[in-house]
Structure formats: C-alpha cells, structure tokens
Amino acid sequence: MSRREAVVTQTMAGTNRQGGFILWFTGMSGAGKSTLSTAVRRRLEGGHSVEVLDGDEVRTFLSRGLGFTRPDREENIRRIGYVARVLARHRVAVVSAAISPYRESRNEVRRLATEAGIPFIEVYAQASLEALVQRDVKGLYKKALAGEIPHFTGISDPYEPPESPEVTVRTDSETVEAGVERILAVLRERGLTA
C-alpha cells in the first residue's frame, strides 16, 4: 500500500468510526418521512457513510411488480429491511423512509436487525388526518376519502402506529429542525454518532 493510499484509508476510517445502524421512519403518506430523512441524512454526512432507502424509490427499483395488498406490502418491507441490514453490516447509516403500515412487519425488521447486532431506531412521523389532507397537493386523500382510491393506507387500508418508537415527531406541530435535533440526540445517546 502506498503512503497516499494509507492516508486515504486512515482518513476514511477516522470519519466513520461508528458502526452502521438502521434509522427507520414510519408514518402515513405525507407525514414528513422523506423531509425528515433528508434533513437527518444531511446532518449525518461527513461523520458517516449514509444511504437513504426511500419507499417510492424502492418500489420503482427493487419492488417493481408488487401491488398494495397486505402480502405485497409486507414483502416490500422485508426487502427494504434486508437491504438495510446488508448496508448497516458495512458500517453504513441506513435511513429508511417508507410508510411500512403494519406493526408486525416493522417488528420483524427490528428483530432481524437486532439478531444481527445492528442498532435499530424507529421514528414515527405523526400528523393528524386534517393536516395530511391539507398538505396533499395531489388530492389523493380526498379521493381516498371519497372511495375513489382502493387500498389507501390510513383510509381504506390500515396504518398501525408504532407502540413504542424511540422518537415520535409531530410533524403537524413541530418544526423539521426540532424533530431532527431530537432524532440526533437519540443517536448520540446510543453512541451511534459523535
């Protein structure tokens, strides 16, 4: 190994002393998962290798062909959980932002991560239905409430809120900055970030 390669290797090791972990955002459509996860990613970069697994992108590239039945939604979450574990084993801070409506599926992802020795932090992005309807520029909630969209999470399909997430961010009454600070505080408390 050349001197330059050794310096680069030392530098990389120094900026990523922490091991990988999974930061799992859950919440209904429009609750702020992507906004929060993007803000957290920005704050983690520089001290960690960070990868965001966005639910919409995963459906496009990893889970194409899956529908919105319960078995398909559960399979989608299993796939995200698997990719998250693989990345976290390689010292990546994985930020997942997917509705993940079923408690059982989320708990399975947590269990498998824990069994693999990977820290798992669940963040619940919570907002009232009224706030979600107001934010919805596409009008999907109004259509779902009118019965025009089948299998819409939280309206015609269930959303099961987490029972004891590590962090709950009330995105209808709390600023993004305040939510991000509370999430980072939990990561620091657990020794996952400096």
How far is residue 10's CA from residue 65's CA, in Å, rounded to a whole number?
Answer: 43
Token digits for 69? 């039945």
How far is residue 131's CA from residue 137's CA, in Å, rounded to a whole number?
Answer: 12
29 flagged as catalytic:
no
How far is residue 80's CA from residue 74's CA, in Å, rounded to a whole number?
Answer: 10
How far is residue 193's CA from residue 7's CA, in Å, rounded to a whole number?
Answer: 23
Would you say 38 and 184 are in contact if contact means Cβ atoms under 8 Å apart? no
How far is residue 131's CA from residue 126's CA, in Å, rounded to a whole number?
Answer: 10
CB atoms within 10 A of CB 190: 12
98-114 core/surface letters (b: 16 or more CB in 10 A; e: else): bbbbbeebbeebbebbe
- The catalytic position among 34, 37, 100, 105 is 100
User: Which residues are tagged catalytic?
Assistant: 100
